[in-house]
């Protein structure tokens, strides 16, 4: 497995890492892991099953036994298409809370490792380069200012005709950043061997190009795209 290349892209919520990671994977023909979706799925399953977000043993069992299926751009939980539910702010906040529970993280680790398949993997999350794939060929810490991230999230919600308050979104992002950075297990941070990419002032295309160029430099693999 260690010979299968991995690009690990970590960063805070709404930084654009998911979009960038998916496009990098598409350009390289690699598999893509949205690790945050696994935590959101666990949180959503807990909500639907009536499991409290502070019940570590039950949450770990849900994580171990998630009946989930990924198909193209759709995600199914117990046969139900839950893509829109996973993108809700409520689900995101709940996912951040359960991600601080060590038993849940341990339960999902094997699922994340299973995504490492030939010809390669691009994984995004909070601890892809530090914990899940510490031997990744390229590690990128992708971030943006809290204000810029809140604006992006607000625009996304407006486009989906979902009501939102910009000030509330900004406060929620700051709270989530603090919670993710302060948790005892796998905190959000830039690793010493990760390259910093601040997308506050650049677009998606430039960010994708940055990752691809650095991957080529790190591995010597010719990237033709």
What is 33-78 written as a DSSP string?
Answer: EEHHHHHHHHHHHHHHHT--TT-HHHHHHHHHT--EEEETTEEEET
pLDDT given at position 137: 96
pLDDT given at position 197: 97
What secondary structure, in 3-state letters, does 174-208 show? Answer: HHHHHHHHHCCCCCCCCCCCCEEEECCCCCHHHHH
Bond before 119 cis per omega within 30 degrees: yes
Q: What are the sequence ranges of the domains in the chain?
A: 6-211
At 225 the pLDDT is 60
Tokens of 113: 């490792």
Query: pLDDT value at position 1?
Result: 60
Beta bridge pairs of residue 70 = 75
State the average pLDDT for the chain. Answer: 91
Query: What's the confidence (pLDDT) of residue 72?
Result: 64
pTM (2 d.p.): 0.87
- CATH superfamily entry for domain 6-211: P-loop containing nucleotide triphosphate hydrolases (3.40.50.300)
Asked whether the predicted pLDDT for residue 66 surpasses 80, the reply is: yes
Residue 211 has pLDDT above 90, yes or no: yes
Per residue in 128-181, pLDDT tens? 999 999 999 999 999 999 999 999 989 988 888 888 899 999 999 999 899 888
Give the pLDDT of residue 218.
93
State whether the Cα torsion 93-94-97-101 is positive or negative.
Answer: negative
Kindly report, residue by residue over 86-130, the tens digit of the pLDDT: 888 789 889 988 988 999 999 999 889 999 999 999 999 989 999
* pLDDT tier at 61, thresholds 50, 70, 90: very high
């Amino acid at each position: 497995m260690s010979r299968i290349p991995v690009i690990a892209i970590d960063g805070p919520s709404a930084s654009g890492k998911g979009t960038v990671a998916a496009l990098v994977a598409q350009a390289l023909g690699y598999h893509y892991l949205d690790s945050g979706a696994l935590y959101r799925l666990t949180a959503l399953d807990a909500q639907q099953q009536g499991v409290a977000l502070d019940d570590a043993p039950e949450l770990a069992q849900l994580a171990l036994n998630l009946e989930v299926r990924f198909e193209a751009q759709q995600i199914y939980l117990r046969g139900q298409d839950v893509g829109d539910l996973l993108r809700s702010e409520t689900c995101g906040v709940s996912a951040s809370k359960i991600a601080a529970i060590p038993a849940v993280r341990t339960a999902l680790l094997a699922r994340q490792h299973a995504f490492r398949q030939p010809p390669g993997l691009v994984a995004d999350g909070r601890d892809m380069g530090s914990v899940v794939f510490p031997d990744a060929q390229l590690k990128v810490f992708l971030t943006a200012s809290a204000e810029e991230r809140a604006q992006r999230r607000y625009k996304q919600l407006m486009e989906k005709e979902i009501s939102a308050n910009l000030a509330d979104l900004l406060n929620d992002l700051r709270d989530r950043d603090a919670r993710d950075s302060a948790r005892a297990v796998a905190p959000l941070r830039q690793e010493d061997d990760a390259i910093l990419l601040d997308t506050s002032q650049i677009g998606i295309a430039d960010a994708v190009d940055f990752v691809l160029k650095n991957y080529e430099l790190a591995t010597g693999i010719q990237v033709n795209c």
